[in-house]
Every structure is written in structure tokens, then in C-alpha cells.
Amino acid sequence: MVWDVLNVIGTIAFAMSGAVIALKVKYDIIGAYVLGLITAFGGGAIRNLFTGIPIIELWQQTTLFIVAIITISIVILLPSSAVKLLTKWSIFDSIGLSAFAVQGAMYAQSINLPLFAVMFSAAITGAGGGIIRDVLAQQKPIVLRQDVYLLWAIFAGFIIGMEWLSESYQFYILFTITLLLRVISHRFAWSLPTRTIQKQQED
């Protein structure tokens, strides 16, 4: 039940996020559907490839595809003022990251993968679709910025990989905590350390 709920939440959030970005960069309607669907399903597809799960399983999620298409259609039909308002919020991306991070980790744990594989599954399921979306929208992927993003997905994967959770409500709590951490880190502009190489001036 937890798996299905988080799958729906993540699909809606990322489909909306992808569609909003597509409209922001002035893609056409087909572009909005493509970007929305890739954002919603890209992370899961990459996870399946890395964990040896047949990619054909992706196409068996008919209900989720319908949910994503309806969500994208709603975004397209919204007034321009509403779309502009949505672009100012990172909440949809944060919800998608948190839901798919927990879901991806649960999936990896269910097939008895080791801790690091569970953490990787959480990270790539939570952020993979967003990476592809940003590349196609010709934007610098959120994962590669100073903004704390991928760390929260890895955190969720670690908690699940350590097998500290067993009850359904505990996974919902982890989803909520991951979401709050992402929202707080974005709100207060938390960032990870960076190191840059200064270009030396030629004599």
C-alpha cells in the first residue's frame, strides 16, 4: 500500500514539475507531455536498468501513465498567471524527490540488494527524472548545483537500507521528514561545499 501511494504521489508531482518547466522554457504542447512523462518515469527507468529489472515493466504501469497524462493536461489548461505562480514553487519537485526516494529504496530492499545499492536506488529514482528534464530543458540540473538536493534522497535510502523501518506509518514519516528537509534546505539556501579551480592569467 505504501509503495502504491508513494508511486502515485511521486508521479503526479514530477509530471506537474516537468510540464511546468516545459511551459516555462516555451516548449509546445507535445514538448510539455514529453518532458512531464520523462520527469515522472525517467528515474524509475534508470533504476530498473541498474538493478537488472526488465525495462518492459515500465510500460505495464498503465494507471500511472493515465494519472501523469491527466496531470500534464491540467497544467497545460491552467491560465498563464497560474503557471507563472507554479514556477516560483519548488514544492512539486521536492514532493517528487521525497516520494520516489523512499519508493526506490523500498523497491531495492524488497529484492534484497545491499545497503549501497538501496541508497543508489533511492538517489536515482528520486533525482533521475529531474536530471533528464533539466538537460532536455537546457538547464543546469538541480543535482549538480550547490543546493542540497540529492543528499536527502541518499538519507532516505540509508534509513531504509539499514532496515530500521518496518511499519507502514514509519515509511510515511520518513517521506514527510525527507520532504521537510528538502523544503527547509531550499528555503534557507543551505548548500554543500564546493571547490573551484581558478584560471591562471597568462603572462
User: Which residues fall within 8 angstroms of residue 182, CB to CB, at 6 or more apart?
Assistant: 94, 97, 98, 148, 149, 152
Instruction: Tell me how far apart the alpha carbons of residues 166 and 91 are, in angstroms, rounded to a whole number.
Output: 27
Query: 115 pLDDT exceeds 80?
Result: yes
Backbone angles phi, psi at 92, to 5 degrees: -65, -40
pLDDT of residue 88: 66
Read off the pLDDT of each residue in 166-176 and give the average, rounded to a whole number: 94
Task: List the one residue out of 168, 72, 158 whose CA is nearest residue 122.
Answer: 158
Domain boundaries, the chain: 2-187
The label of the residue with cell 523500498 reads 106
Q: 4-63: per-residue pLDDT in tens?
A: 899 999 999 999 999 999 988 889 999 999 999 999 999 999 988 888 888 788 888 899
Query: 86 pLDDT exceeds 80?
Result: no
Mean pLDDT across the chain, nearest whole number? 88
Task: Name which residue leads in pLDDT, 101 or 81.
Answer: 101
- Residue 60, amino acid: Q
Instruction: Tell me how far apart the alpha carbons of residues 67 and 60 are, in angstroms, rounded to a whole number.
Output: 14
Q: 47-60: per-residue pLDDT in tens?
A: 888 888 887 888 88
pLDDT of residue 201: 57
Lowest-confidence region among 6-10, 154-158, 190-194: 190-194
Query: 202 pLDDT exceeds 60?
Result: no
Taking a C-beta distance cutoff of 8 angstroms, is the pair 59, 15 a contact? no
Cell numbers of 14, please? Answer: 514530477
Query: 199 pLDDT exceeds 80?
Result: no
Taking a C-beta distance cutoff of 8 angstroms, is the pair 54, 48 a contact? yes
User: Which residues fall within 8 angstroms of residue 105, CB to CB, at 6 or more apart?
Assistant: 118, 119, 121, 122, 125, 156, 157, 159, 160, 161
